[in-house]
């Protein structure tokens, strides 16, 4: 069998929406695309993805539609290497303060999505996350990965999403004129929605912004999936 694809949702920052997009992407691919998906919870600080599955199974008595393994350790690359031989897709939710787990998780990855809020304190952590990703790309066992930034929890009642989109893609600071790095920012956003908060511990019937993210990163191959 060909190797499964490996998608990492990660950032060296907690509370940005990694687990929301990782779990919903896994459920969407399992339930709508019919894939055999294995979710790896690689967050040493919290364990929301594993708890999500447990709480669902406890509350409903039914089996969660994707398998979840918690493994927030430096040898996560070995686990992912093994799992990609057995599943259509491995999705890794990589969190918080551990650059070693983050870079190891990218060893076999085809994709990295870095969610980030349109907010100064969250943006501060983006350069270090990006640097860690570049180091990981140099060590890739599969010829590297595509990486994107995803605006998360955006509130379009404010101008922040537009300002941060500009800041991330224009190459210069609009106030000082100083040069800034240009990030590959997804057009799709995870908007701020109560439905995402309520999704925890459930298998939702609707995936909101997730399919547009998956289309843009090439997980959903438009036209091909139905065939
Ligand atoms: N798009 C969103 N809209 C509203 N709330 C969100 C959204 N994404 C995440 N949240 C909330 O933010 C918190 C952190 O989300 P989570 O996915 O657990 O982040 P992380 O895994 O990066 O720590 C949770 O309380 C979650 O309900
Ligand atoms: Mg999380």
Neighbours of ion ligand 2 (CB under 5 A): 18-19, 43, 48, 95
> Can you list the positions of beta strands (E) in 21-163?
37-42, 67-70, 89-94, 111-117, 146-154
Ligand 1 pocket, 153 CB below 6 A? yes
Distance 141 CA to ligand 2 centre (A): 26
Q: What is the pTM of this model?
A: 0.96
- Convert the pLDDT of each residue in 115-138 to its tens digit: 999 988 889 889 999 999 999 999
Distance 227 CA to ligand 2 centre (A): 34
Q: What pLDDT, on a 0 to 100 scale, did the predictor assign at position 53? A: 98
Domain 5-156+183-216 indexed as CATH 3.30.70.360: no
Q: Where are the domains of the chain?
A: 5-156+183-216
Distance separating alpha carbons of residues 171 and 177, to the nearest angstrom: 9
Q: What pLDDT, on a 0 to 100 scale, did the predictor assign at position 99? A: 92
Distance 169 CA to ligand 1 centre (A): 24
Q: What pLDDT, on a 0 to 100 scale, did the predictor assign at position 1? A: 52
């Amino acid at each position: 069998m060909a190797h499964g694809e490996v998608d990492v949702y990660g950032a060296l920052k907690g509370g940005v929406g990694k687990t929301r997009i990782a779990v919903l992407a896994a459920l969407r691919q399992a339930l709508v695309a019919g894939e055999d998906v294995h979710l790896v919870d690689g967050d040493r600080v919290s364990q929301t993805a594993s708890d999500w599955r447990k709480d669902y199974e406890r509350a409903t008595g039914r089996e969660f539609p994707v398998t979840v393994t918690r493994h927030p350790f430096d040898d996560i690359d070995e686990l992912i290497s093994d799992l990609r031989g057995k599943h259509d897709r491995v999705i890794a939710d990589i969190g918080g303060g551990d650059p070693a787990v983050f870079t190891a998780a990218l060893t076999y990855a085809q994709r990295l999505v870095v969610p980030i809020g349109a907010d100064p304190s969250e943006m501060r952590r983006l350069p270090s996350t990006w640097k860690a990703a570049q180091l990981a790309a140099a060590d890739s066992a599969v010829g590297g990965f595509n990486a994107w930034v995803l605006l998360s929890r955006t509130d379009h009642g404010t101008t922040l999403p537009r300002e941060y989109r500009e800041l991330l893609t224009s190459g210069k600071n609009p106030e000082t004129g100083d040069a800034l790095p240009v990030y590959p920012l997804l057009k799709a956003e995870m908007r701020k929605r109560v439905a995402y908060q309520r999704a925890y511990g459930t298998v939702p019937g609707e995936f909101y912004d997730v399919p547009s993210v998956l289309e843009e990163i090439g997980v959903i191959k438009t036209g091909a999936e139905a065939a």
